[in-house]
Amino acid sequence: MSANSTNKKIIVLISGNGSNLQALIDSCKNNQITGADIVQVISSKPNVYGLERAQKAQIPTHVHSLKEYKAAGKTRKDFDHDLADHIQKLKPDLIVLAGWMLILGPDFVSKFEGKLINLHPSLPGDIIGAHAIDRAYEEAKAGKRTETGIMVHYVIAEVDEGKPIASRKVPILENDSLEALEERIHRAEHELLPEATRMVLEGTAPSFK
């Protein structure tokens, strides 16, 4: 899929499977998202299936590995600084965190505020941080909740506290296995993320501030 030079440029950051990346790839291909191209996929880990998805779609990939930075005696700030430099050179209109599993420092976030969005498997103000699906599942099994949800939000320094762009409730059924809940959540994410991405690109999303 060759990028059109007049189209808006999306960069997608991943750390694993990339099923939400695939939803974005498919949405650009089927014109749910128009006038935009994914110009690069950046992974925080090598050899993840999301990189294969990008390569199959002929989208350039780049690995920015925290493990390699640590092995070289470099800091999290070095990691963030170099990632920001790399991204700025590509001049994206939008950066989508689609399963990017690293907290980004305030210096990084401040360089991209308003065009940095994140997909998170929890409702606004509910579960913060990694492993949100597991935590919701455990709370449901303890009788503490019967639903969870997903959201796409602007990224700010405070993790998962940026202004929501779109969100959706997801029920947790009494006899759910963790796998059944994960599948229900991912199905909902594959619809919500392209829709939220389209809204930001078209200017119909809630404003950043």
Ligand X SMILES: NCC(=O)N[C@@H]1O[C@H](COP(=O)([O-])[O-])[C@@H](O)[C@H]1O
Distance CA 22, CA 17 (A): 9
Residue window 35-64: x/- pattern of binding to ligand LMY7XDAE, with contact defined by CB under 6 A: ------------------------------
The distance of Cα 101 from the centroid of its chain, to the nearest Å, equals 9
Does residue 92 belong to the site contacting ligand X (CB under 6 A)?
no
Nearest in space to 189 (alpha carbons), one of 123, 104, 113, 142:
123
Instruction: Report the residue from 57, 63, 90, 102 that binds ligand LMY7XDAE according to the rule CB under 6 A.
Output: 102
With respect to ligand LMY7XDAE, which residue has the nearer C-beta, 37 or 185?
185
Query: Exactly one of 81, 120, 153, 190 is catalytic; which is it?
Result: 120
Q: What is the DSSP string of 81-138?
A: HHHHHHHHHH--SEEEESS--SPPPHHHHHHHTTSEEEEESS-TTS--SS-HHHHHHH
With respect to ligand X, which residue has the nearer C-beta, 7 or 17?
17
Q: What is the DSSP string of 12-66?
A: EEESS--HHHHHHHHHHHTTSS-SEEEEEEEESSSS-HHHHHHHHTT--EEE--H
**By Cβ distance, which residue is nearest to ligand X?**
99
With respect to ligand LMY7XDAE, which residue has the nearer C-beta, 12 or 155?
155
The answer to whether residues 13 and 65 touch, using CB atoms and an 8 Å cutoff, is: no
Kind of pairing between the strands at 8-14 and 61-63? unpaired
Residues in 145-174 that interact with ligand LMY7XDAE by CB under 6 A: 155, 157, 159-160, 162
Instruction: Report the residue from 12, 36, 83, 98 that binds ligand X according to the rule CB under 6 A.
Output: 98
Would you call 120 a catalytic residue per the annotation? yes
Distance CA 103, CA 129 (A): 9
Residue window 174-203: x/- pattern of binding to ligand X, with contact defined by CB under 6 A: ------------x--x--------------
Select the span of 68-76, 85-93, 113-121, 138-146 touching ligand X (CB under 6 A): 113-121
Residues that bind ligand X (CB under 6 A): 14, 16-21, 50, 98-99, 119-121, 130, 132, 186, 189
